[in-house]
Amino acid sequence: MDPITLQLYRHRFAGIAEEMGVTLRRTAYSPNIKERLDFSCALFDGQGRLVAQAAHIPAHLGAMPASVYTILDRFPTWAEGDVVIVNDPFAGGNHLPDITMIAPVFVGAATPAFFVASRAHHADVGGMTPGSLPLSTEIFQEGIIIPPLKLYRAGVLNEDVLDLILRNVRTPEERRGDLAAQRAAAAVGARRLRELVAAYGTAEVLAYCQHLQRYSERITRAAIARWPDGAYTFEDVIELIDGDRLTLTPIRVTATIAGDAITFDFTGTAPVVYGSLNAVIAITQSACYYVVRCLIDEDAPMNAGCFAPVHVVAPTHSLVNADPPAAVAAGNVETSQRITDVVLGALAQALPAQIPAASQGTMNNVTIGGLRSDGKPFAYYETIGGGMGASAAGDGLSGVQVHMTNTLNTPVEALEIAFPFRVRRYGLRAGSGGAGRHRGGDGIVREYELLAPATVTMISERRAVAPWGSAGGDAGLPGRNVLIHLNGREEVLPSKFTRRLQLGERLRIETPGGGGWGK
């Protein structure tokens, strides 16, 4: 292994994943993909091991490899032009709106040398409410479930499968366009890999896949070896809403550092809940991988080697390792944030100078859907940023997406062009960050006015329990969801609700601030 060549291959592989992402963004139909960048792209070797993943969505770190391993088990033979899709959370997915597309890449041999994959959040895949993030109690209510299947066989589209998928969603043409964009991204990734092999030879390219994976593993193990050995336990809660009843449901982790490896044991976490906050094991793994990766000082390439020293233990039939037919729509977006919080809280005991206070701890998921004035359906989905926790290094950032999401916002202009509502207010929520030697970042205020009747679903967290401060810093302000009626009356809504709103009614979302650090 030549160290200079190693770095060249690192950026070659990462560049291919990034170019796939650019292709997906430019050719997508939905604002959620082309404006918010709610997708990830990655390369895998022929055994399904991650070679490179673009810096897109942290929640996909463990889930994308799980999808690839699942399809390798399902399909023993491949042909040029095959394309597999899957969104089943219990077969490598994370929740139903995230559709993964995987394609083999052949470079002369009879078996694939690589796989290229993309995972994109589709703004509607059917289910109880527009946007496919309902207040569900079982997965069958959340939308169409797509097991691993070949949408293309040897380059030929299975029209019947596509028709079945499109018939089960509210916005079929948008879905058709976004699926085509994912296929375009796969085609670009495959072409670039074949060009790389043509230039440098199959043996060298495949060898440097393994060199990079071993290199990342060495960096990760060396970083963990510098952390103090021991077992560190932390617990936090999510806000389960059942009618008017609020139940604070615990997530507990013990992080055990031993030499150059770390184990996260979630024993003590609540069992599967009657609601959509359950997370599949791939989400729990993603959160753990994300935190460890954030704590590595050296710039390690993102690949399977980063995961090797990290072990996750989660009781079956638990909130963090759900099994069918549990509802999981919100587990991907909300429980993933709380898993991140508890992992950070545990490691703060070992690395107090490196761990920030709690950030907003929620994605503030808003879905709005209905019919336009011309009778055509629409479905809007967005997450809203908030305050980042402060740390020993300084104040937390204000008005940003934190931890398990890495998306942009939908610009007001793009949103108002695409959907029948108006943004009446959008700015920082001054003073919502927790006080301390370093202050937590402020949240966001975003207010929507409906220009057509619509069904609105909100799934959020940190409305009852505020983001905690650290090292003596104060907690950030919890969030608020407010409905402004036509007569001006304001009604505070719970963290999770579905309401049918009328033309002219307004929804104001006030997102949490980050916790402060230090007295």
**What tens digit of pLDDT does each residue of 323-380 get?**
999 999 999 999 999 999 999 999 999 999 999 999 999 999 999 999 998 999 999 9
Per DSSP, what are the bridge partners of residue 114?
A: 45, 105
pLDDT digits (tens, 9 = 90+) for 416-469: 999 999 999 999 999 999 999 999 999 999 999 999 999 999 999 999 999 999
The predicted pLDDT at position 251 comes to 98
Whether pTM exceeds 0.75? yes
- Side-by-side strand order, sheet with 480-484: 421-429, 443-450, 506-510, 480-484, 490-493
- Per-residue pLDDT, averaged over 179-186, amounts to 97
Q: List the Cα angle 328/333/335 in 5-degree steps.
A: 70
Strands 261-265 and 310-313: parallel
The predicted pLDDT at position 55 comes to 67
- Evaluate if residue 405 carries a pLDDT over 90: no
The predicted pLDDT at position 298 comes to 87
DSSP 432: -
User: Measured between alpha carbons, how far is 86 from 92 in angstroms, rounded to an integer?
Assistant: 8
DSSP reduced 3-state for 179: helix
What values do phi and psi take at 246, rounded to 5? -105, 125
Measure Cα distances from 131 to 96, 112, 363 in Å: 11, 36, 15
Residue with tokens 């409410």: 129
- Per-residue pLDDT, averaged over 35-47, amounts to 94
The predicted pLDDT at position 278 comes to 97
Out of 151-160, 241-250, 356-365, 495-504, least confident range: 241-250
Q: Are 230 and 350 in contact (CB under 8 A)?
A: yes
Measure Cα distances from 28 to 25, 119, 350, 495, 511 in Å: 5, 13, 44, 31, 29
- Per-residue pLDDT, averaged over 194-214, amounts to 97
Q: Are 489 and 513 in contact (CB under 8 A)?
A: no
Q: How confident is the model at residue 290 (pLDDT cuts 50, 70, 90)?
A: very high
- Evaluate if residue 271 carries a pLDDT over 70: yes
- Evaluate if residue 207 carries a pLDDT over 80: yes
Measure Cα distances from 308 to 50, 222, 223, 267, 346 in Å: 11, 12, 13, 21, 20
- Evaluate if residue 321 carries a pLDDT over 90: yes
- Evaluate if residue 123 carries a pLDDT over 70: yes
Q: Which two tokens stand for residue 119?
A: 């995972």
Residue with tokens 């336009």: 372
How high is the mean pLDDT of the chain? Answer: 95
